[in-house]
Amino acid sequence: MLSTSTSAKSSNEAASKYLNLASINQRVVNMEYAVRGAIPIRAEQIQAELKSESANHPFNKIVFCNIGNPQQLEQKPLTFLRQVSSLIEYPDLLKEPMLSNTKKLFPEDAIKRAQETMEFVGSSIGAYTGSTGINKIRENVAKFIEKRDGFPSHADNIQLTNGASGAVERVLELLISDNSVGIMIPIPQYPLYTASLTRFGARAVPYYLKEDSNWGMDVSSLTEIVNKARSEGTNVKGLVVINPGNPTGGVLSEQNMNEIIQFCEQEKIVLLADEVYQANVYYPQEKPFHSFKKIASQLNSNVEMFSFHSISKGMIGECGRRGGYLEMHNISQPVRDIMYKMASVSLCSNVLGQVAIDIMVNPPKEGDASYEQFNSELSSIFDSLKARSKKLANAFNNQENMSCNKAEGSMYLFPQVKFSQKYLDFCKENNKSPDVEYSMRMLENTGVCVVPGSGFGQVPGTYHFRCTFLPPERDFDSFISTFGKFHINFMNEFRD
């Protein structure tokens, strides 16, 4: 994970320092986060090189498929969300003498919504809010969840956070009382989880997703895994599920979810449900999204759980705004008080992110001036994402020695590549990780930046990479053809 600028020179320089790799916190030294690791760092270097005339690369731009960052790849923001945000940034626009000109630029429902927002924000979006976020927005989140699930939700159980990352980190820190604690995580997983477990000093207790059943879960294996971990002295406290899956693109069946909830309740394990891709579900007839909160409520389960959602994904894609929320379900009041205190030390999450959450959970309604545009923007992004996911999965499946499950949800494909023995030997001799080397060569030859499967975990002896399907539709054909040429050349170079 260290940048390539850690040269011999800087190591010498470092030797004279009292703050050095040996004297700092080893948990953060050991933490790994491949989504922004060595390959993306190299991609950024190349991007800088491409600006100079002397650049010598066989492409003229980097395509960042390493990270679910839609607006970096030209996805347009939702107009209504931006109009409301723009107005609350400069509330003079909402009052005369400016208002008459404002009305020439903004639709009436955006103006009305901005006025209502300023009322419940109170003084100014430049003030700290309550530690867990603005009350009215937390109430609106609860209403959204009730409508989605058909079961009660309460603002007291909602915390607004800086992205879902901030929410996940808070809950893991709450759970991890010492280094005997284990958290069950899917393999492959989103590396925020492994990074945070290393950071907070806990043990990862992995369970494998089944690639041959479109990344479903084998819940029957969980009991064996937890028993084994416990027999080794691991205090298994939590189980993470990412649904829809990251990096897998899978959507869990209701049957799987029932079993997971019963398992967690029986084993007294806290369920962490990462549901940030809940709006990215491409086959809602065959594989609909259900929240774990809803399924737990249907089962009348006492499972203790936390769920996470975000404005960074879905069709909103407002990653840079850092807005997220968590819901606590069946969590006792004293523990919720501690969660409140944890939020309070960092004062509050950023207010513009909170307001974007409000628009996500309470969008324009039928009859509002922006209703049609809002929905047409949503569905055009949705349709395009689905089309791109199919096109890219097909392209991968048409390559020699590659196979790829379709994306039932999320923004990613996680294709498997079968490498020749010759290539594996080459990697062994040169002390290289096969999937990392493959991904690095892809970057150097095509400008496409993906993340090697080892950054997420994979069955030993299998090799994958994660690739978003977010590049603009018009770039897709050249993107696929460039990748195809690289892949066939690579296969030819290392043919047994």
Cα–Cα distance for residue pair 209/273, rounded to 1 Å: 16
Cβ closest to its own copies, residue 7 vs residue 462: 7
Q: Does 266 bind its own copies (CB under 8 A)?
A: no
Give the integer Cα–Cα distance in Å for 314 and 310.
8
* Per-residue tokens: 126: 């430049």
Minimum distance, C-beta of residue 29 to its own copies, in the bound complex (Å):
6
Give the one residue of 43, 93, 142, 222 binding its own copies; rule: CB under 8 A.
Answer: 93
* Number of residues located near its own copies, criterion CB under 8 A: 104
What is the SS3 assignment for 65? coil
Give the end-to-end CA distance of the chain in Å, rounded to a whole number.
32
The candidate with the shortest Cα–Cα distance to 132, out of 97, 114, 112, 158, is 158
Cβ neighbours around 282 below 10 Å, total: 21
Nearer to its own copies, 25 or 489 (CB): 25
Using the rule CB under 8 A, is 237 a contact of its own copies?
yes
- Rg (the chain; Cα; Å): 24
353 interacts with its own copies by CB under 8 A: yes
Binding its own copies by CB under 8 A: which of 55, 58, 61, 124? 124
Q: Give min distance, CB of 199 to its own copies, in A.
A: 7
Q: How far apart are CA 203 and CA 79, in angstroms?
A: 44
Task: For the CB of residue 489, give the shortest distance to its own copies in the complex, in Å.
Answer: 31
- Identify residues 317-346 at the interface with its own copies (CB under 8 A): 317-322, 330-335, 337-338, 340-342, 344-346
Residue 351 within binding range of its own copies, rule CB under 8 A: yes
Which residue of 130, 225, 287, 371 would you call a contact of its own copies, by CB under 8 A? 130
Q: How far is the CB of 328 from its own copies (least distance, A)?
A: 10
Choose between 49 and 337: whose C-beta lies nearer to its own copies: 337
Position 385 contacts its own copies (CB under 8 A): no
* Of residues 42-81, those binding its own copies (CB under 8 A): 44, 67, 69-74, 77, 79
State CA 265 to chain mean position distance. 26
CB 73 within 8 A of CB 467: no
Residue 288, phi then psi, degrees to nearest 5:
-75, 160
CB 261 within 8 A of CB 227: no
Query: Are the beta carbons of 159 and 339 closer than 8 angstroms?
Result: yes
Query: Least Å distance between CB 3 and its own copies?
Result: 5
Segment (H or E) for 300: none
Q: Which residue's CB is nearer to its own copies, number 99 or number 402? A: 99
Cα dist. 423→416, 432, 442, 445 in Å?
A: 15, 10, 15, 17
Q: Which span (125-133, 284-292, 432-440, 484-492) binds its own copies, by CB under 8 A?
A: 125-133
Among 65, 137, 241, 270, binds its own copies (CB under 8 A): 270
Site for its own copies in 146-205 (CB under 8 A): 162-163, 165-166, 169, 173-177, 192, 195-196, 199
